[in-house]
Amino acid sequence: MSDSQTFLSAFLLIFQWGGDLWEIIGLSLRVSLSSVAISTLLGLPLGALLAVRRFRGHHAITILVNTMMSLPPVVVGLFVYVLLSRSGPLGVFGLLYTPSAMVIAQTVLITPIVVALSRQHFQQEWERVGEQLRSFNIGTMSALPTLFWETRAALTTVVLAGFGRAIAEIGAVMIVGGNIDHLTRVMTTAIALETSKGNLELAMALGIVLLVLALLVNVAVHLVSHWSSVRGGGK
Amino acid sequence: MTTGSPSLNNVRFSINGTELLKGLNLTLGKGSFTVVLGPNGSGKSLFLRLCHGLLQPDNGELSWNGSQTRPPQTMVFQNPVMLRRSAKENIMYALRNCPKAERAERAQQALRWAGLESISERMATVLSGGQQQRLAIARAWALKPEILFLDEPTASLDPGACDYVEEHVKTMHESGIQVLMSTHNLAQARRLAQQIIYIQDGRIMAHQPVEEFFTQPSCDEAYEFIRREFAIAPVTKIKTVSGT
């Protein structure tokens, strides 16, 4: 079968596919959105704190967080696997090879990205407005809600960047999820599996869906940036 | 109205071990309009930020008529800082300690005072530099401060906007607000100020009434500064400080 035929078959498969495809897409979205939500809740306050406060160990934490941005997913997967395996410290919860384990692994992977990128945006914004807010007699901690609001457009792109990383990730979810059919199979692990089986049409079909999702994320980032500049926000 | 004007006693300020303000001693007259002059990097902005409380001195004491309690005060910066919301909301934000019911009315009054009613609903960050500075002045007025600090407020404005800022700052002073302003514009300093503080290398070299400063500066450094800026010599050269 030629490349173009494979591509055409892949497209047709997307429209012919039944519940299995939507189950895989649904799980992928559920795992990625859950990990992004947790990373956002943990990462944005930490990013803001690193931007506006100076304390002992500040530089060390900043360097550590920046370094963790480039954590190899398989290393994170291995680390979480050891934690969640039956003999590991969290083994009693029986989370290994469940979607929860995949959420934990992706959260570990994405949180440093959210912290590091948001810290940069918060810092730039704090340098812009910090003195004025203090001139209004607003303390640093009281100014944080304003800082979040002023940085909202940039923070949206940070969160979307985290989602992009999560949805495309394979190494960690493969190790801690195990790619079990109808339980922990997500788009990326399914693509790897179908490719190894030589089922290129199916792998390609999943790849197209993944690309469409990535495209939608980028369109969302673009729209947010555009909306922000129209509203006079910039970054 | 005035409960206190700043008094500095041997105030020092350093960054990374480099002393940038060196033993400042000064008491400002109540309700005065004081302009701070000095070359670039002399410490004018640091001095204003320190007086306003944005920076804390390493040594020495800053008091307000003997009290540590700061009277109501605000600062207008060279580059006006606007939040990403409408012009009116920017003023309302500054009034966040006022009762909610009062905020909109006071913001509207400030916009009217500044002649900015037509742009009250426009996003503040997309206004021109001149409009933003006018809005910053209106916001400062809305706060009803006892002391107003201005850090080179007209440095990047065209002559029209400059006149506007001068006129409104003058009006605020005439209403009883004490003004402490830095500028590089000697003609502006002469037009507005009652007193001049001349700072160089982090030291207060001169503190004189305005006409006396421009005609009989009390130190060589101030004399040279005026001579270079105006390209003419002041009327009299008095060497009471350096003695050379």
User: Which residues, in sequence order, are CB contacts of A128 under 8 Å at separation 6+?
Assistant: B81
Mind telling me how many Å the CA of B217 is from chain A's nearest CA? Answer: 33
| A233 closest CB neighbour out of B93, B97, B125 | B125
Q: Give the model's confidence band at A230: pLDDT under 50 very low, under 70 low, under 90 confident, else very high.
A: low
Averaged pLDDT for residues A47-70: 93
| B84 closest CB neighbour out of A131, A137, A233 | A233
Q: Which 3 state secondary structure label does DSSP give B181?
A: strand
Kindly tell me if the per-residue pLDDT of A200 is higher than 70: yes
The structural domains of chain A, with segments of one domain joined by +, span 3-230
Kindly tell me if the per-residue pLDDT of A84 is higher than 50: yes
Q: Which of A78-82, A99-103, A120-124, B224-228 has the weakest average pLDDT?
A: B224-228
The verdict on A197 touching B (C-beta cutoff 8 Å) is no
Choose the mutation target among A136, A149, A225 for the interface with B, i.e. most B CBs under 10 Å.
A136
The pLDDT of residue A229 is 67
The verdict on A66 touching B (C-beta cutoff 8 Å) is no
Interchain CB distance below 8 Å, B84 and A128: no
Q: Give the model's confidence band at B156: pLDDT under 50 very low, under 70 low, under 90 confident, else very high.
A: confident
- With DSSP H G I counted as helix, E B as strand and the rest as coil, what are the percentages for chain B, rounded to 5? 35, 25, 40
The verdict on A227 touching B (C-beta cutoff 8 Å) is no
Residue A19 burial (CB count, 10 A): 9
**What is the ipTM metric for this complex?**
0.86
The pLDDT of residue B53 is 92
**Spatial contact of A31 and A173, defined as CB atoms under 8 Å apart:** yes
The pLDDT of residue A21 is 82
Residues A7-41 have pLDDT tens digits of 788 878 777 776 788 889 899 999 999 999 999 99
- Provide the 8-state DSSP code for B125: G
| A129 closest CB neighbour out of B83, B96, B123 | B83
Kindly tell me if the per-residue pLDDT of B3 is higher than 80: no
At B93, list the tokens. Answer: 């934000």
User: Which residues, in sequence order, are CB contacts of A53 under 8 Å at separation 6+?
Assistant: A140
Q: Which 3 state secondary structure label does DSSP give A12?
A: helix
The verdict on B113 touching A (C-beta cutoff 8 Å) is no
Give the CA distances from residue A194 to residues A6, A155, A182, B129, in Å, rounded to whole numbers and listed in that order. Answer: 13, 36, 15, 59
A3-230: CATH topology: MetI-like fold (1.10.3720)
Averaged pLDDT for residues A120-127: 96
Strand residues in chain B grouped as ranges (E): 6-15, 18-27, 33-37, 59-64, 73-76, 147-151, 178-182, 195-200, 203-209
Complete DSSP assignment for A43-75: HHHHHHHHHH---TTHHHHHHHHHHHTT--HHH
Residues B53-107 have pLDDT tens digits of 999 999 999 998 888 888 999 999 999 999 999 999 999 999 998 998 899 999 9
Interchain CB distance below 8 Å, B77 and A132: yes
Choose the mutation target among B56, B77, B84, B97 for the interface with A, i.e. most A CBs under 10 Å.
B84
The structural domains of chain B, with segments of one domain joined by +, span 6-230
Q: Look up the CATH superfamily of B6-230.
A: P-loop containing nucleotide triphosphate hydrolases (3.40.50.300)
